[in-house]
Structure 1
Amino acid sequence: MRALLGVPTPIFLLVVYGLCPSMTIGPKEGWQVYSSAQDADGRCICTVVAPEQNLCSRDAKSRQLRQLLEKVQNMSQSIEVLNLRTQRDFQYVMKMENQMKGLRTKFRQIEEDRKTIMARNFKELKDRMDELQPLIPVLEQYKTDTKLISQFKEEIRNLSAVLTGIQDELGAYDYDELYHRVMSLETRLRSCMSKLTCGKLMKITGPVTIKTSGTRFGAWMTDPMASPRNNRVWYMDTYTNSKVVREYKSMADFVSGQESRTYYLPFKWAGTNHVVYNGSLYYNKEQSNIVVRYSFETGRVLAQRALEYAGFHNVYPYTWGGFSDIDLMADEMGLWAVYATNQNAGNVVISRLEPDTLEPLSTWNTEYSKRNAGESFMICGTLYVTNSHLTGAKVYYSYDTKTSTYEYVDIPFHNPYFHISMLDYNARERALYAWNNGHQVIFNVTLYHVIKTEDDS
């Protein structure tokens, strides 16, 4: 996921762990995968808990190579010590050479005048000879170093022989074949990652406050179907009596307030539950159960359709009111409408819509009261409903449209500004966009995946 306040290169981090005590997986079973939109530094994360395999580090040849590496490192350290000592002793020997030159001069003087200065010169000669005594152990040390160097030469010959043997054994593997195997593994990894598009909601973290602006109620969003280079942000302040949509070229422009374009819709909207999907804005027309599709490219309404029996104008809103009867949203599976009807006793109804014509493709009736819901959002075809819009809210209920089953869940999340009037999932960003009491914030989501893989042994 991109960093929220700029457009740096996306980073995708794959972390592979061993088995944990709470999860026992046989070596031929599938991977357990947790993916998360971003970490604290804004990096995209996919965490994979994989079955334990025979690692290459346990191979006999790998151990042998490590032992050889340790020998080479030890030899390198010894040679380094020898080099330092040689440099030090060379200075010492140079000093001794100068002293021996002085001795030669003294011997000549003694020969020329043995009688007059014999006693004094012999004493001075003795002192000079005493100064040469420390040179003897230095020269002896060089004998030892010579032996050490001979040992190094022998070790290097042995290492070369061993490495040659290993190379001969590895010669059976063609380098092109190894390259193709690496490429095949990379392709399989990418294929595995492509399966991480959907999962079950496990955790909501954050939020990160992007900006503080507007009234207490509103909506802001990006297009989950846009290309990675298209990072436009749309901003719709208040929940009624407005037609103005503001566009920003990037998240950074949105934060700095550099508006790029303003759109004036043909109809006012109701509520805050709008969505931008594949270049069009979908919203609930004020005082009606009509869904409008508006094209940003053409500036025209491309389609509008009434949701049959859907309540509107605060008949079946979320707990905070605000004409939030009809909630339009998008996920990995497509475009959705969440609302309530008298026929379903005011409980939540889910309809998957055809994006071009707004025709309902499938509809599910749940048993969760729309008026008791704080907000809701879709992830991978599952509707998640919060129990409140205030502090202490949590995801309390989920309905899976793939199996037409529901369950009560307990996924808390932080509501720092005490009042949420818009909460929508963005499949491209793998995050929840929220309008929190005049603050535009983003929550991170963690999804749980089960991926079945074949035994590669």
Structure 2
Amino acid sequence: MGCTATRLEKTIRPKEGWQVYSSAQDADGRCICTVVAPEQSLCSRDAKSKQLRQLLEKIQNMSQSIEVLNLRTQRDFQYVMKMESQMKGLRSKFRQIESNRRTLLTKNFQELKGKMNELQPLIPVLEQYKTDASLISQFKEELRNLSVVLMAIQEEIGAYDYEELQQRVLGLEGRLRNCMNKLTCGKLMKITGPITVKTSGTRFGAWMTDPQASPKNNKVWYMDSYTNNKIVREYKSVSDFVAGVESKTYNLPFHWAGTNHVVYNGSLYYNKYQSNIIVRYSFESGRVTTQRALESAGFHNVYPYTWGGFSDIDLMADELGLWAIYATNQNAGNIVISRLDPQTIQVLNSWNTEYSKRNAGESFMICGTLYITNSHLTGAKVYYSYSTKTSTYEYMDIPIHNQYFHMSMLDYNARDRALYGWNNGHQVLFNVTLFHIIKTDDES
């Protein structure tokens, strides 16, 4: 079956809480698989779970209010008990006044007046009792209503608890990863875009991320101009790159030639100026770890791309590893594809094509197949491909929208499954559509 795989990192991301992994189509273009999964933490933000949490918090707050009310009521009750004792004393005083009005009238009247003053605060206490009693009734009624709502939500959710739901999500994610592993490689069918990430620098340059980096590592490296420069600028993320917030600057020991550099597994690989030497520079150590000449490779505008710019040697990476694209006199100036050892930069294997390097606008590798554009200007298209797996070539007709009229860098990133481009001083991204043959478990 045929599948379309797209995974383009950009500033505008899928709806928060969701991850778009891939999609698939059969040969007739019918959608048979859309892989869209929630993050593991999504359950905690589920609407029903949020409603339950809010209700429980409300009940807890009400319980605390009732507890405070109860303490206050107990305090007032003790005060009322004291007032009751004083009222009993007043009753006795009234009896004494009745029995001896003349003798005790004045004395008891003063004493009675004092007792009445003491009882005066009892009036607001009794009023507060009425308010508290009403408030308690209101709380009880609201708690009953909340209990009914909670029971309804619990019945709606059903018998699944959070741990069981989490296990089911993990199981689905495992199946998604297996699906993604089957979608690793495919044949290029379509190029869409570009998305303009930033406008900066001169007409010529390169920008890139590391396809071997972890998902959390989104560093961007930026190299302006095709020569007379040794400064590499590093940004912690694409958003920092867009904002111009540099995290580090590297001063290379040698000038580079062209714009066809690549960062792979923490190291920068580039063509040393006025030579066919490939330099491996480690960002971690800040020094050159390996240098090696690419035997017979033309350099210094002997076999550049159509736009020139010392673009004789093009270094790139795909799902299968590190590659060098160049031309030699032995191959009559036609493109040679060499797979390199990332540690030693030794050539592991080479393939001779019949496509002239000087007639190529740009090129990039996807899944061991080299794709070549016929121009660096408006109207460019992917015109030719060469498979290192079968050692065969094919003519193609896949348009690529050259929005800013001059392409001086075009490289595929296997992690992002996107093409990074430098388009006349604009840093752009293209999405790619690949056709896949997926093997079932029975076929594997």
* Residues 75-90 of structure 1 aligned to structure 2 (within 5 Å): none
Q: Percent identity?
A: 74
Distance 2:34 2:319 in 1: 17
Aligned residue runs from structure 1 range 55-454, under 5 A: 187-454=174-441
SS of 1:450 mapped into structure 2 = coil
Residue 181 of structure 1 deviates from its aligned partner by 11
Shift of residue 452 of structure 1?
A: 2.1
How many angstroms does 1:183 deviate by?
Answer: 8.1
Structure 1's 9 and 290: CA in aligned 2 closer, same or farther, altered over 3 A? farther
For residues 188 and 9 of structure 1, do their structure 2 counterparts lie closer, same or farther at Cα, with a shift above 3 Å needed?
closer
Q: Check 1:204–1:34 CA distance in 2 against 1; reply closer, same or farther (3 A cut).
A: farther
Aligned counterparts of 2:242 and 2:442: Cα–Cα separation in 1: 49
Which residue does the alignment assign to 1:115?
none
SS state of the match for residue 437, structure 2? strand
Partner of 1:66: none
Alignment partners' CA distance in 2, 1:182 and 1:440: 37
2:389 partner amino acid: K
- TM-score, normalised to structure 2's length? 0.65
SS in 2 for 1:231: coil
Which amino acid counterpart does residue 5 of structure 1 have in structure 2? T
**Is the 2:412–2:418 Cα contact (8 Å) retained in structure 1?**
yes
- Shift of the alpha carbon at 1:10? 6.8
CA contact (8 A) 2:324 2:340 kept: yes
Pair 1:315–1:228, CA change in 2 (3 A):
same
What does the per-residue CA deviation read over 1:36-72, in whole Å, with 9 as the maximum and x for residues that have no partner?
Answer: xxxxxxx99xxxxxxxxxxxxxxxxxxxxxxxxxxxx
1:132-190 Cα distance to aligned partner (Å, 9 max, x none) = xxxxxxxxxxxxxxxxxxxxxxxxxxxxxxxxxxxxxxxxxxxxxxx999987764553
* 1:362–1:250 CA distance, 2 compared to 1 (3 A): same
Are 1:33 and 1:451, in contact at CA under 8 Å, matched by a contact in 2? no
Q: What residue in structure 1 maps to residue 11 of structure 2? A: 5
Cα distance in 2 between the residues matched to 1:16 and 1:243:
43
**CA RMSD for the aligned pairs?**
3.0
Q: Give the 3 Å change call, closer, same or farther, for CA 6–437 of structure 1 in structure 2.
A: same
| CA separation of 1:368 and 1:33: change in aligned 2, threshold 3 A | farther
1:250 deviation in Å?
A: 0.5
2:336 counterpart letter in structure 1: V
- Using the TM superposition, give the Cα deviation of residue 408 of structure 1 relative to its aligned residue in structure 2, in angstroms: 0.3
Deviation at 1:195, TM superposition (A): 1.3
CA contact 2:22–2:34 (8 Å) conserved in 1: no
Aligned residues: 310
Separation in 2, partners of 1:187, 1:232: 27
1: distance between equivalents of 2:232 and 2:216? Answer: 21
Counterpart residue identity of residue 237, structure 1:
D
Match of 2:160 in 1: none
1:369/1:9 Cα in 2 relative to 1: closer, same or farther (>3 Å)?
farther
The whole-number CA distance in structure 1 between the counterparts of 2:240 and 2:207 is 14
1: distance between equivalents of 2:362 and 2:345?
A: 22
* Runs of 5+ unmatched residues, structure 2: 1-6, 38-165
Matched position secondary structure for 1:305: strand
Match of 2:94 in 1: none
1:5: how far off? 2.4
In structure 2, do the counterparts of structure 1 residues 16 and 214 end up closer, same or farther at CA, with 3 Å as the change threshold? closer
